[in-house]
């Protein structure tokens, strides 16, 4: 017996989802998923179809971040096709956009981001409009359309409430990286370091690994391999702790490059050897190749 789930009052459903969102924003994905699971169970017992769809979208948002969202993609599409609820349709489209972004399919991500934007307009939510614009910016950046990406991120920051500090920090990170890619290093580093400070202050430590990766890349672009080395080491430690394999792979690339440029040949070979063993087991000569040619031109953190 669960006295909370046995309570039919809608306030219970709202509370569970609010707590799940709070955990999500701090990167506490396991806690967030557990709360969304309970919200789904409440909806199954006491709610209607819209409640079940809302809970499904919440569960999907976390599963996608954890890399377990493939089985929910078809369910999200079903919500879009059959639901007359604009809020649920926004959530479904936004989740689909994020899922395709992580699959490195920017055109599909942009398609659903635009759909999410249209629904957010109907709902009148500035926060949701900002989320859709951020997704569009990510899709543009993945296709090397950096000017357009920066426009989307800037528009998102103008919409997002200042009280949503974690969300703002993540968009500032994206904008900062776009500036770095465009060789506007002063603006890029300013935004990336501001994002990192905010995430640390807020306790959203899971999100800091990707900022360290961006900073490692930026310092390599600026010709400061020792600073890049420092950030790549932190990113690897954090990615290992969080179990984020994609971030770990990128950080190993950058650590090897930074160590190689810093004349730390042993650490460079170690990093590239680990990269080969864990991610490219059939590429036995990869460490020698990467030590000879360099990797900066081969690494795209958003594409």
> What's the whole-number mean pLDDT along residues 65-80?
92
CA angle 243, 160, 185 (to 5 degrees): 65
> What's the whole-number mean pLDDT along residues 97-122?
96
Give yes or no for a contact between 234 and 199, defined as CB atoms under 8 angstroms apart. Answer: no
Lowest-confidence pick of 2-6, 59-63, 77-81, 100-104: 2-6
Residue 297 pLDDT exceeds 80? no
- Residue 262: count of CB within 10 angstroms of its CB: 16
Predicted pLDDT of residue 155: 98
pTM to 2 decimal places: 0.93
Nearest to 47 by CA among 11, 83, 81, 90: 11
CA angle 79, 82, 85 (to 5 degrees): 70
- 83 vs 92: CA distance, rounded Å: 10
HEC readout, 127-185: HHHHHHHHHHHHHHHHCCCHHHHHHHHHHHHHHCCCCCHHHHHHHHHHHHHHHHHCCCH
Residue 1 pLDDT exceeds 80? no
- 217 vs 297: CA distance, rounded Å: 11
């Amino acid at each position: 017996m669960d006295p909370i789930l046995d309570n039919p009052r809608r306030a219970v459903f709202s509370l569970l989802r609010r707590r799940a969102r709070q955990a999500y924003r701090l990167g506490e994905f396991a806690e967030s998923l557990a709360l969304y699971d309970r919200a789904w169970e409440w909806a199954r017992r006491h709610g209607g179809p819209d409640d079940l769809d809302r809970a499904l979208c919440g569960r999907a948002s976390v599963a996608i971040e954890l890399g377990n969202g493939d089985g929910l993609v078809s369910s999200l599409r079903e919500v879009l096709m059959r639901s007359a609820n604009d809020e649920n349709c926004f959530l479904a489209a936004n989740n689909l956009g994020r899922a395709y972004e992580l699959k490195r399919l920017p055109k599909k991500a942009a398609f659903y981001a635009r759909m999410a934007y249209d629904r957010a307009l109907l709902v009148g939510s500035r926060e949701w409009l900002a989320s859709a614009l951020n997704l569009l910016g990510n899709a543009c950046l993945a296709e090397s359309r950096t000017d357009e990406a920066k426009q989307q991120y800037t528009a998102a920051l103008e919409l997002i409430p200042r009280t949503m500090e974690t969300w703002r920090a993540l968009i500032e990170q994206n904008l900062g990286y776009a500036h770095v890619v465009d060789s506007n290093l002063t603006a890029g580093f300013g935004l990336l370091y501001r994002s990192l400070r905010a995430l640390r202050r807020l306790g959203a430590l899971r999100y800091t690994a990707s900022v360290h990766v961006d900073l490692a890349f930026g310092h390599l672009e600026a010709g400061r391999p020792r600073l890049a080395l420092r950030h790549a080491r932190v990113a690897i430690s954090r990615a290992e702790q969080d179990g984020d394999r994609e971030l770990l792979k990128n950080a190993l690339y950058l650590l090897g490059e930074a160590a190689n440029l810093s004349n730390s040949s042993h650490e460079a070979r170690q990093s590239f050897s680990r990269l080969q063993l864990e991610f490219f087991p059939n590429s036995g000569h990869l460490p020698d190749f990467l030590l000879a040619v360099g990797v900066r031109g081969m690494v795209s953190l958003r594409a």
